[in-house]
Structure formats: C-alpha cells, structure tokens
Structure 1
Amino acid sequence: MCYTDSDEELWQEDPYEYIRMKFDVFEDFISPTTAAQTLLFTACNKRKEVLQKSMGFCYQILTDPACDPRKKDGALHMIGSLAEILLKRKIYKDQMEFMLQNHVFPLFRSELGYMRARACWVLHYFCEVKFKIDQNLQTALELTRLCLINDNEMPVKVEAAIALQVLISNQEKAKDYITPHIRPVMQALLHIVRVTENDDLTNVIQKMICEYSEEVTPIAVEMTQHLALTFNQVIQTGPDEEGGDDKAVTAMGILNTIDTLLSVVEDHKEITQQLEGICLQVIGTVLQQHVLEFYEEILSLAHSLTCQQVSPQMWQLLPLVYEVFQQDGFDYFTGNKSVTVVQLI
C-alpha cells in the first residue's frame, strides 16, 4: 500500500496515465493494492484486535520523524482505507481530527507530490469527521483549495478537486467558506477536466454547480463554452481507439454537466439564450456525426432548451432531428428517448 518505484516512474514520465490508472475501476480488479485494502478492511472489521494492532502500527510510523516518506504514505493509505470503520467507533473517531491536524495538514507543505496527493486523499476519506474546532475545518478547506489552484502536479490537483467537493458536500460550514473563491475553483476544475479527460471530475463539477447554483449563474456562459470545447476534444477519439470507452464516459459526463447548468439558469432568460448557441453546436456535432451513444444526452439538452419556449434558433434543429430519426431507425429510440423526441417535435 506504499508508493512504489513504478508509481514514481509513471508519475514522472506520464502523470496523465498515472491519473487514468489510479481512477480506472477496471484496474481495481487486478490491482494488488486494492486486494490489500480489501483484506485489511475485512480483517479489521471482523477482528477487533487486528484494528487495534493496525492502528498502533500506523501510529508508530507517523510519529517517527526519521521514517521513510513512502512508509508514511502507506500508513496513511491504511488509515484512510479504514475510515468507514474508524468513524463508527468512538475510541477512534474522537481522535481523527487530531490525526488530521498533526499528521495530514503538514504534508500539504511536502516537497513530494505523492505525499501532497495522499494528504488530499485522506481528507477525502475522512470528509465526514465531526470537526470540534472550526479552524481545523477551515484549514482543511484552504489547504485543499490551494492545492487545486496552485499545485504544479496534476495528480495532486485531481485528488484535491475530489477532496474539496466531498468536504463541501459533507461539512455544513464548508460551503460558506468556499463561496468567495468559487470562480477560480470552477475555472481550475474546468481546466483539469480539459487536460485529464477524467470522468470523475465531471461528477465533481456537477455537484459543485448544484451546491453553488447562485454563484455559478454569472459564469455559466464561460463554463459552458469551456465544456463544449472539452467535449469536442474528447470525441475526437473514436470508440475503437485506445481509451475510447473512457472518453465516451467523460463525454457523457460533460453533456450531463451542461444540462445541469441549463437547469440552474432556467429562470435567467438572457443567459439561457446565450447558452442556446453553444449547445446547438454540440447537439449539431453529435447528430451530424451520428454518434449514437450520445443521442439521449443531446436530446435532453434540446428538451431543456425547448420545454418553456422554442426560439427561432431551436426550430432549425427540428429538420436535423427528423433526418437522424429516419436514418438511424426507430429501433434505437426506445423508452425515454422516444418520449424526448416526441416532446421536442
């Protein structure tokens, strides 16, 4: 469960492949790291003495100033993997805030990128900690936010993005603290999605939009433009090319994120009108290229843009939808898809 030489080699040579590997659900089936996590969790959940000994082992490593950083990474990996158990047992959950304050927060200043990434990862898994000291929550949020915006290592930024979102979702006081910073945070998230094409981050953006709907409204056009460009970039990879399936999932996430933005600004007519043109380009690209796997998502966009009124611009879409409907066959448009087409027409 420690950071390895092969991890370091991949991080340095191809950090984007490192990110893909770490977030690939299919890698989990063959990963010895995942197997070790599962074994540790099961043993500690079934045998009380194993949990006590494991935590003692980890504490010994964390409190040794001369310990190899990779061993500390492994110890924190163990503790984070046991978060679900630790937060349910009073003897441990009352100590977790202290653990974060003394052994995780200092790692954000580490010169080692993998240690900063691990610090973000631990905050992610302990996002439900009941902070007794507000300053500790603010510190966790600020350190994570700064990692997201300023860190030079992309794997660190990805971990920070996920950690920040789950902290905001699970800590009642977190939302207000991040509100003044929401614009640079969203810009950073959009940039990371663009360069990594990671589908986990499209989910992060969707949840952040829902949390900060009022704050996001003024930058909705800018965000949608960015997402549209990223979508066009992602679909340049065909489904048969390497990574095509992952990119398809990312593309669907982007379309769903745009739809979420449309729902947020539905009461702002001027903004919705500006989004129409951007969305029409995306819809047109999918329909003209006959990318069937995205039909449901782009028809949902079309429905969102026409459910209250149909602008002259949107009427131009009808012949194209009809042509695609005729060409790709009625068999494809089943269930909800056929309903969407009928509503649009």
Structure 2
Amino acid sequence: MLLNDRITAFSELGNFLSQFKNTGYEKIKNIKNNEDFFDGMIQKIESAKHHNGWFTEENIVFSLSQWSKALTKNNLEQWLSSYTLDKLEPKTIGVIMAGNIPLVGFHDFISVLISGHNVLVKQSSNDNYLLPYLASYLISIEPKFKNKISFTTEKFSDFDAIIATGSNNTARYFEHYFGGKPNIIRKNRNSVAVLTGNESKKQLAALGEDIFRYYGLGCRSVSKLMVPKGYNFDLFFKSIYAHNDIINGAKYANNYDYNKAVYLMSSFKLLENGFLMLKEDTSYGSPIATLFYETYNTKEEVIQKFENDKEAIQCIVSDDFSDESIDFGTTQHPSLSDYADNIDVIEFLTKID
C-alpha cells in the first residue's frame, strides 16, 4: 500500500466523521460506505456514553469533530511532508492506550498506520467502543488495512516496538516489561496557564474551555494557573461562568462535593464559585473540580520553574508568555504535528530496526 493510498483512506475517514457534530448529526451524500456505517456510529456513540459516565455525548462528538477537521488530505500531506516513509519496512507496533478521554490514543493509531507499520492495540476498558468501529470503517475504505490492524486484551507477545500511555505508576511497569524494545512510554502530564492580570474577559472565557473540556481529564486540560502576587480572581470567575452547567453532571458534582469536604476538613483556604474550586498548591495535577494556582513575582521566575518541571507539563497557555506557549482556548485543538510529550512519533517509527 502506497503512502498516498493511506492518506486517501484517512481523509475519507475524516469525511465520515464530519457528519457528527454537537450541532446535530447530518447524513451527507457521497460519503463512502455511509449506508453501512452511519447508523452504527450513532449506536457506538450511545454505547460509549452509557459505558463511561465521563464520556458525555458532547465530549465524544467534540472529539470526533476535531478529528474530522484534522484528517483532511491537505493536513495529512503537510504533516508527513518532512518524513521519508515510502521505503519503510513494516513492523508490528504495540500501542497501549489510556482511557481518560474519548479516542485519546487515536493519534498513535493513525501514526503507526500512516507510516506503513502494523498496529497491535490494547485499549483501556474505559474507551473501547469507538476505535474498533472506526478501524472497521477504515478497512471498508482500504481493505489492505485488514491485515495491518489488530486488537487484543492479552499481554503483548509478538511486537517490534511499543507506544504506551499511562500514569507514573504504570509507566514503571511499562519500562520494566518493554524496556528491551524500542519504546515511547508516557507518564502523567498536565497543562498550565500563565496569567498576568491584563487578560481580557474573552481570553479568560476561552481559558474556561481549556479547563472544563473533558471535565479536565486530559493531559492538555489546564489544571493549574500561575498568577502574579495579589492577583484578583473576580474577572476570572465572571469570565468562566458560562461553564457553570458542568456541575449538573453527577460524577463531576460528586467529586466537587467530596473534594470540597476534604479541603474544608483539612482547613485549606479555598476560592470557589459553586462549580470550581481554586486551591493554592505547587503541584500540577489537580483533582476534578479543582484548579491549583501558584503566585509569582517575575516572568523569569516562572520560566525557571517550567524548565525545572518540564517533564510534568504538556501545554503552557498564555498571551505570548514564551515561544512554547499557545493561545487561550486552543489546548483541545491540537494539529497532527502536536505530539504528546513533544516526542515525534513518526520520527520514532522511521528508525525502528
């Protein structure tokens, strides 16, 4: 299968996914094999929603919509233009996926197949409805993928390299078990926003999307703020108020109540607005319904902190804080070349002996 064939197949998948939007599902003519898959996709969305209480229909469809925008022929060609893939010898790449947000391992899945390798997937039980169905659609478009895609619930026994995503604890297991093979092993990471006090209400409202999308469960979700000493949170709270209906989700509300009770019993000082708590803390990974914050005196102080803690940070959100920072409201809109942990997966896949 040529690279152009793989690109065409994934762009057709992108077309298929474009039918599923938060504004409604719309069956579009001329989508390949749509009669066989459209209704089934709706059923898979429903199944994923009922299986995992964190996977609301809104968040599932948001993920599908983002992938539909990414998987255009132009985006795929631009992404892969700097790599040499046509002469790559196919290997079997094991991919162990997390299950914290819908289709969280999809980028690894795409990367392995688009590079010409075979993928052996072990999914999290929290997110195992959507990807197999999308794989079936992909195979219907390009039957040569059939022998290149496998799913397993067992331990891997026949593979050439591994891409594994999990917690800091599971990473130790991955390193022990897979250390003898070429590997990418990802640990816990979180995203942080740097505020100066000069942000507009619009910017802070966009930051709300970075905080609340997927209930804050993604590594690209902002879980901590860096604010100047004496920062007034009034405008921040007013700007994110549009997200107040998040408290209507039972699982989120239960976490809010539980964590608030723990903090109060421990006499921690809190700022809260009925659906989000702010707690001063040096850590990056805040519990659900909580946002940590830390104060600073100078920009240089923050730069040094981030350098020291770079292994814990996925994204830095700000209004032009540094060359590495991204705009408010963009954390959940990564491009195909925005690699998790800044590890170039395609480059890794081209160098497996």
TM-score by length of 1: 0.27
From the two aligned structures, give the one with the greater strand fraction: 2
Normalized against structure 2, the TM-score is what? Answer: 0.27
Structure with greater helix share of residues: 1
Larger Rg: 1
Larger RCO: 1 or 2 (CA < 8 Å, sep 6+): 2
